[in-house]
Chain A
């Protein structure tokens, strides 16, 4: 089936891209220049403008003469790290809430899903802005904790909703009925029977969550709510470079393409995984639902 090959290819292409990104993030910094070292002498033109891409600096230098490629590589670690932690937290909450609601049904299900609705009533970006503004006086300001917390607080909701629907179907099935007849308790059924059956879905949601959280992280960094300088993140690189978009477009294009490629890789992986999980959905299923901050 030629269609099947294409879906399979999506998983492979996405996985290879993601693997490459992780590799670059982990071992890349050993092979690049110092990402925060100012280089006023050689990193700028005589008029003080950023240097365009050349043999010395693969992607040119920025407005302070810093090596853009080195900053992209270093930023990969920061961005992927934040997205990873936020996704894992969101997944843990989403799994717990989704499976509990789906298994229990009735009142508990209703209450938990209403909670999801309530959290979704908040505009994501404004919630982040509000949290950052409120936390500025505390010790957490200037760390990555506010941004991770914000992304995770919002991110678990869609995961919980999707997992709840799946768990609901499973909980009504014969497998769970048989387990209950054999005397298994709620927690045993959830862990031993529901969890293994949603792992495929969890893989899709994780890839999707990564894509969305990378986007969220870049937007928040772009607005100055990300991790503090001088550590580079893609979003802030673009923000700092945007004033120079006429004279040095590479300052915008380099981080922009980095974000596009990273987010696209995770979307590709997610859509391929979903197609394998549910071949019927494969005909159409592209990247997933959810709201990106705009």
Chain B
């Protein structure tokens, strides 16, 4: 058991190392001068020389690689040339808004997706299930920028119910600003949660232990909630964990639509000016978030399902 846990941790570290190495390889593989690529077309000679020294660009590839590893491990990701601030500082500023958005979206996915999936499984073949399936199909097929713009137009602009965009000032105002971006971000996840619950619960309801539960006189409600949904827990934990990893890296499109000051919006601003240090920083942070989330999911699964332990 301990060996298994250590192996999972080792694998997560290997993934993190791979991401750091791959970003270095991409940077080394571009035909242009990396210093120019990192600093942009308007950098002066002094800045270029500083970057060359910082990333050891005048040395051999191996030394450059060692340099890169060293900087990343120590959290020195260079300076964003758009804002002239250290990348780590910018990332730290933007992480909390993104985290709030990610948590709110996952909460919505659970609150809407799970009941939708239960409806689809319990009323299988009848019209409520068909309706749930249609909602799923649309939610899975609509890109976030379409859903976002439509919600913005209808709810915020036409009906004036919620603010058009921005971060709000704490407390209630923040919550009001959070609703639309979180709902937009959750659209796709609602569909995938609903699908997983529908198939897992549908399978479980055909099992013998569910028939036994029914035979001993439990209400249908108790059968579904206490016995049927139990098998869905594992897959649901996996989905939540993976979503957490992906969403903590920033939601580029949604943050852009609603002017939400998170990592995603920062990355988009960085693309416009090809602010490479910042883009690299966000890629590293989100890849490591994904690796960490995968690790947590793996360990949780071992805890939930003892059969996986051998």
Q: Do A and B come from one complex?
A: yes
Q: How many residues of B contact A (CB 8 A)?
A: 65
Enumerate chain B residues within 8 angstroms of A127, measured Cβ to Cβ: 283
Q: Which of B262-297 contact A (CB under 8 A)?
A: 267-268, 271, 274, 276, 279-280, 282-283, 286-287, 290-291, 294
Q: Which of A85-131 contact B (CB under 8 A)?
A: 117-118, 121-123, 125-127, 129-131
User: In the complex, what distance in Å separates the CA atom of A138 from the CA atom of B276?
Assistant: 15
Q: Indicate if the CB atoms of B202 and A129 lie closer than 8 Å.
A: no
Known contacts A223-B252, A252-B149: does B188 contact A294 (CB below 8 Å)? Answer: yes
User: In the complex, what distance in Å separates the CA atom of A225 from the CA atom of B157?
Assistant: 28
Q: Indicate if the CB atoms of B290 and A284 lie closer than 8 Å.
A: no
| Interface residue from B15, B22, B287 paired with A123 (Cβ < 8 Å) | B287
Q: Which of B130-183 contact A (CB under 8 A)?
A: 133, 136-138, 140-146, 149-150, 152-153, 157
Enumerate chain A residues within 8 angstroms of B246, measured Cβ to Cβ: 123, 291, 294
User: In the complex, what distance in Å separates the CA atom of A122 from the CA atom of B294?
Assistant: 12
User: Is B240 positioned at the interface, with any CB of A under 8 Å from its CB?
Assistant: no
- Return the chain A residue nearest B130 by Cβ: A6
Q: Indicate if the CB atoms of B19 and A122 lie closer than 8 Å.
A: yes
Q: How many residues of A contact B (CB 8 A)?
A: 56
Q: Chain B interface: which of A31-39, A161-169, A194-202, A259-267? A: A259-267
Enumerate chain A residues within 8 angstroms of B282, measured Cβ to Cβ: 126
| Interface residue from A118, A138, A281 paired with B31 (Cβ < 8 Å) | A138
Known contacts A137-B31, A137-B37, A263-B141: does B149 contact A242 (CB below 8 Å)? Answer: yes
Known contacts A122-B19, A256-B150: does B195 contact A284 (CB below 8 Å)? Answer: yes
Q: Shortest CB–CB separation between residue A279 and chain B, in angstroms?
A: 13
Known contacts A118-B15, A284-B195: does B253 contact A293 (CB below 8 Å)? Answer: yes
User: Is B224 positioned at the interface, with any CB of A under 8 Å from its CB?
Assistant: no
Q: Indicate if the CB atoms of A252 and B136 lie closer than 8 Å.
A: no
User: In the complex, what distance in Å separates the CA atom of A133 from the CA atom of B31?
Assistant: 13
User: Is A136 positioned at the interface, with any CB of B under 8 Å from its CB?
Assistant: yes
Given contacts A215-B141, A223-B252, 20 further A-B contacts (CB under 8 A): A122-B287, A123-B287, A126-B283, A133-B276, A135-B30, A219-B144, A238-B149, A239-B145, A242-B257, A246-B153, A246-B157, A260-B138, A260-B143, A267-B141, A284-B120, A284-B199, A286-B133, A287-B137, A291-B242, A294-B144
Q: Across the A-B interface, give the 3 residue pairs with the lowest CB-CB distance, nearest first.
A: A284-B199, A256-B146, A264-B141
